[in-house]
Amino acid sequence: MNNEHSTSVIRFSHDELELFSAASGDRNPLHVSDEYAHKTALGRLVVFGVLGAIAALGRIPPHPKRRLVKITLGFPGALFIDVDYTVRVAAHNDRRVTADILDGSRVMLVAEMHFEPGRSAALAADAPAHFPYTEPADRQPDDLDLGVCNENLYCPDHDRARALLDHFHLPSRGIGALELGVLLWASYFVGMEMPGKRALFGRLAIDFDSVEANAAWPLTYTARTLPFDPRFDLLRCEATLSMKGRPIATAKLRSFVRRDVPAIDIAMLQELLPQSESLKGKIALVTGASRGLGAAIAAAMALEGCTVIANYRRSRRDVEQLVEKVEHAPGEIVPAQGDAGDPAWWAGRATKLLETYGGLDILVCNASPPLVPMSIHAASIERINTYINQSVSLVSAPLGTCADLLAKRRGWLAVISSTAVDDPPPEWPHYVGAKCAVEGLARATAAAHDNLGVLIVRPPRLRTEFTNVPMGHANAIAPERVAADLVRRLAERPPAGEVRYLECFDPRLEPVT
């Protein structure tokens, strides 16, 4: 076997996530909780990195008379269920095989395996499953001191592990119960213990020792942390694994630790935007107002005396907390749950606005789908189109209801765009296309309504959950800065029928690095 190459298509299912979670004991909510995953930058359930790896292992050429002695994995991108990915395998010789998972031209997972002649150790499957943590630890970066040491027992769920072995045809590839069990442990350890809930798995390297015939579950692991790198929020750990006192493997693990995104800072808004009640008596509607920039805009408006209808889709508790933050402001925030991109939610809303408030003075179209990288490639065109359609509907649906209302009161339409329209990141074609489209909608709305002012807002990278991924907050600015400058503009008399741009923001606060 020399330089044998193959490609195939793979798609992960929700059932596979549940099977892997049950087998490994990894209950990290990023992979098992729709509600939790929705609030992250990734926006939906993420496939376990190790699950992606074992699926790739199932695509390497069969060779049962060998055993895995070393595996190195890298996880440069997040995998999702119900998406077609390409697995690219290269068998360089009998001992070395590489496998990558690609989304179009983007590499999402890399794996390198080394084998030697022999067979995986046969282990009895009579020990009960044992997971030291049943709920993931929630360790902050400040909790990850050098030298933290864990020593404990681990045993996967044998029935579910056997189902994984069979499902991905691993024994015929030289991967048995022991090797799979160590891979399951690695996912469990990062996702549940160190760092736990906040983990994004980055890299894994495992060296397997020769295992004697009397080895048996459970395995004992001793792990310690290495110096934490705050520049990249990177945690490194080393571990030794043994059975009955005899070494079976050593592992090196790297993971990124997601930090908490600061809640909207009312004091910062008051510093940047001293209360003037400049919007007293005004009625505003902000889409996507539960968190991030939308929440900052809603709060800033309330501080200036505005009544703000805060649209949100799922995060009710976040909106309730925002209401509490501005309870003593001259204005108020009124929660309004619904999908801002669904015309059915807007049906009859104009009548309700007229009956309750007499009309509408300001509409801020802020809502946007979660942003994950993609490339212009045949494999991702359908998802790119879906993203653009969703983004456009989050502006076109509110405009269909509110444009005439705004024009009657000589009001403002503000559309949140991005500096990316002028400096497109190559991995964001869908985002750039969407923002260009919504800017076009805003300009067309201005052309159709002589008594309406349009403001297109192009903020730089913001420190919000939208960018809470490795290096995502580098050179990001606080959303309060954008909100304060936007509200200052909205307090001015709208330039009827004109389109203006807001691209420069208050420099008094330095970027967050």
CATH number at residue 405: 3.40.50.720
Q: Is 326 within the bounds of a domain?
A: yes
Q: Is the pLDDT of residue 512 over 50?
A: no
Q: Of 257, 275, 297, at which residue does a domain stop?
A: 257
Q: Is 404 within the bounds of a domain?
A: yes
pLDDT band at 468 (very low <50, low <70, confident <90, very high): confident
274 and 242 within one domain: no
Terminal CA-to-CA distance of the chain, rounded, Å? 49
Q: Is the pLDDT of residue 254 over 70?
A: yes
What is the tens place of the pLDDT at every residue in 75-105? 999 999 999 999 999 988 888 999 999 999 9
pLDDT band at 146 (very low <50, low <70, confident <90, very high): low
Lowest mean pLDDT among 3-12, 198-207, 374-383: 3-12
Task: Say how far residue 242 (Cα) sits from the centre of its chain.
Answer: 35
Please give the tally of structural domains in the chain: 2
What per-residue confidence (pLDDT) applies to 211?
75
16 and 82 within one domain: yes
Query: pTM, whole model, 2 decimals?
Result: 0.92
Q: Is 513 within the bounds of a domain?
A: no
- Residue bearing the bigger pLDDT, 433 or 316: 433
What per-residue confidence (pLDDT) applies to 98?
97
The 3-state DSSP class for residue 389 equals helix
Q: Of 225, 257, 289, at which residue does a domain stop?
A: 257
336 and 230 within one domain: no
Give the sign of the dihedral formed by CA 284, CA 289, CA 293, CA 299.
positive
443 and 393 within one domain: yes
323 and 357 within one domain: yes
Range of the domain at 50: 4-257
What per-residue confidence (pLDDT) applies to 511?
38
Are 168 and 8 within 8 A, CB to CB? no
List phi, psi (to 5°) of 423. Answer: -135, 75
pLDDT band at 151 (very low <50, low <70, confident <90, very high): confident
156 and 116 within one domain: yes
250 and 277 within one domain: no
d(CA 251, CA 182) in angstroms, rounded, equals 9
Average pLDDT over residues 187-203: 96
Lowest mean pLDDT among 140-154, 276-290, 310-324, 375-389: 140-154
What per-residue confidence (pLDDT) applies to 144?
76
Q: Is the pLDDT of residue 252 over 50?
A: yes
Query: Domain of 33: which CATH number?
Result: 3.10.129.10
Q: Is the pLDDT of residue 508 over 70?
A: no
Are 438 and 415 within 8 A, CB to CB? yes
Average pLDDT over residues 172-183: 94
What is the tens place of the pLDDT at every residue in 446-460? 999 989 999 999 999
What is the tens place of the pLDDT at every residue in 345-377? 999 899 999 999 999 999 999 999 999 999 999
- Residue bearing the bigger pLDDT, 307 or 511: 307
What per-residue confidence (pLDDT) applies to 230?
86
What is the tens place of the pLDDT at every residue in 257-307? 998 888 899 999 999 987 788 999 999 999 999 999 999 999 999 999 999
d(CA 87, CA 47) in angstroms, rounded, equals 15
Q: Is 510 within the bounds of a domain?
A: no
Q: Is 424 within the bounds of a domain?
A: yes
Q: Is 120 within the bounds of a domain?
A: yes
Q: Which residues pair with 138 in a beta bridge?
A: 196
Are 249 and 121 within 8 A, CB to CB? no
274 and 253 within one domain: no
Question: If you average pLDDT over every residue of the chain, what do you get?
Answer: 92
What per-residue confidence (pLDDT) applies to 212?
66
299 and 151 within one domain: no
248 and 296 within one domain: no
233 and 345 within one domain: no
Task: Please state whether the peptide bond connecting residue 218 to the residue before it is cis, i.e. omega within 30 degrees of 0.
Answer: yes
Q: Is the pLDDT of residue 2 over 80?
A: no
Q: Is the pLDDT of residue 1 over 60?
A: no
pLDDT band at 200 (very low <50, low <70, confident <90, very high): very high
Q: Of 211, 234, 257, at which residue does a domain stop?
A: 257
What per-residue confidence (pLDDT) applies to 213?
61
pLDDT band at 168 (very low <50, low <70, confident <90, very high): very high
Q: Is 244 within the bounds of a domain?
A: yes
172 and 274 within one domain: no
Q: Is 512 within the bounds of a domain?
A: no
pLDDT band at 123 (very low <50, low <70, confident <90, very high): confident
